[in-house]
Amino acid sequence: MVLGLAACSSLFPTPIAKLLEDPRGYEGKQVTISGEVVESVSILLLKYFIVRDDTGEITVITQRPLPRKGEKIKVHGRIEEAFSLGDQQLIVLIEDPREP
């Protein structure tokens, strides 16, 4: 039953707002999101893109080739807090390089 629930969680994307509202509850956990790529950036060894759904947007760190702006995608990975300063924080999804 638990395996079935875990498999279902990767089939149904989590709304981005839900991740941002409770980042500690999702930190270190595997999630799937879907949405539109609104920005792609490659700086030296760091590659990331920003995905927006109907509820918000999140930064995705990847080792794969960057998707094009405007592309609709589904991403699976682990939620982490990149940094926290006072009441400001950056929550990121680190894409699982093994997922197709």
Q: Specify the pTM.
A: 0.86
- H-state helical runs in the chain: 2-11, 16-21, 23-26
Identify the CATH homologous superfamily for domain 2-95. Answer: Nucleic acid-binding proteins (2.40.50.140)
Spatial separation of the C-alpha atoms in residues 97 and 93, rounded to whole Å:
12
Spatial separation of the C-alpha atoms in residues 18 and 31, rounded to whole Å:
11
Average pLDDT of the residues in 1-7: 48
- Residue 10's pLDDT band (cuts 50, 70, 90): low
- For residue 73, the model assigns a pLDDT of 97
Q: Which among 41, 49, 55 is positioned nearest to 13, based on CA atoms?
A: 55
**pLDDT digits 0-9 by tens, 31-90:** 999 999 999 999 988 999 999 999 999 999 999 999 999 999 999 999 999 887 888 889
Cβ atoms of 38 and 58 within 8 Å: the answer is: no
Answer whether residue 7 shows pLDDT above 60. Answer: no
- Residue 1's pLDDT band (cuts 50, 70, 90): very low
Rounded to 5 degrees, φ, ψ at 86 are 65, -125
Answer whether residue 2 shows pLDDT above 70. Answer: no
